[in-house]
A and B are shown apart, each in its own frame.
Chain A
Amino acid sequence: TQLLEQSPQFLSIQEGENLTVYCNSSSVFSSLQWYRQEPGEGPVLLVTVVTGGEVKKLKRLTFQFGDARKDSSLHITAAQPGDTGLYLCAGHPYQTGANNLFFGTGTRLTVIP
């Protein structure tokens, strides 16, 4: 079973459209991170959210951490072909003592020009 479930798994949209990607869990996280991975490359960190209810903006990308710290969303406004990639959420759950990040299942976004 996956600790972090992302939806949708695949998303194909036209340039200029808006989209939202969701990252959900039944566990509480001390923080959540979002990464973007392009083909042939490793993931690159986009943002870290640490406070329940927190909203962070990065140009056309808006990230939100749920009040209960169990979920997060990524909203992209006016998507561009350069946004194409695999979006991954990741976090450290409370009370596991784990040293590693738990990664979500990923959302593969394709923005069609």
Chain B
Amino acid sequence: GAGVSQSPSNKVTEKGKDVELRCDPISGHTALYWYRQSLGQGLEFLIYFQGNSAPDKSGLPSDRFSAERTGGSVSTLTIQRTQQEDSAVYLCASSFIRTGGLETQYFGPGTRLLVL
């Protein structure tokens, strides 16, 4: 399909290990967002990419978190030295250029991360 895809769908890791989460946005969407959702809760913004501009990293909770977007398309969220409190669903969304809250963000199904 033409929707946002994320991989893996589930990831179980041990405390202290690094993990990489991947997002394939909808083709043609210039904006890409990463959010974190704790069990049954609302979404917490992590990072935002828009075209070739410097990303907005204001939501990253610590320096263990980083993200890249290569070629304006695929994005990878990396969590180093994972902690149990990192366990959550990590959601990626994409949209056309942001227009002051009027854009429609299309979400992927998320990656469920469990840190043991």
Contacts and interface: CB of A to CB of B under 8 A. Distances in A.
Interface of A: 2, 4, 6, 29-31, 33, 40-45, 48, 50, 86, 88, 90-92, 98-106, 108
Contact of B109 (A29, A41, A99, A106): A41
Contact of A42 (B48, B50, B93): B93
Interface of B: 4, 33, 35, 40-45, 48, 50, 56, 58-59, 91, 93, 98, 100-102, 104-105, 107-110
The 5 closest A-B pairs by CB, nearest first: A42-B107, A92-B101, A100-B45, A31-B101, A103-B43
B41 A105 contact: yes
Nearest to A89: B42
Nearest to A43: B107
15 contacts: A4-B42, A30-B101, A41-B107, A42-B110, A44-B107, A45-B105, A90-B43, A98-B45, A98-B58, A99-B48, A99-B98, A101-B33, A104-B42, A105-B42, A106-B40
A103 B41 CA distance: 10
Contacts, number: 71
Given A99-B56, A100-B45, A108-B40, A42 B104 contact: no
Given A86-B40, A99-B48, A106-B40, A31 B107 contact: no
Nearest to B53: A99
Nearest to B3: A42
A4 B44 CA distance: 12
A31 B100 CA distance: 8
Contacts of A108: 40
Contacts of B4: 42
Contacts of B45: 98, 100-103
B84 to A, nearest CB: 22
Contacts of A106: 40-42
Given A33-B101, A100-B59, A101-B101, A40 B42 contact: no
A8 B99 CA distance: 30
A70 to B, nearest CB: 15
Interface centre among A2, A86, A101 (most CB of B within 10 A): A101
Contact of A40 (B43, B105, B109): B109
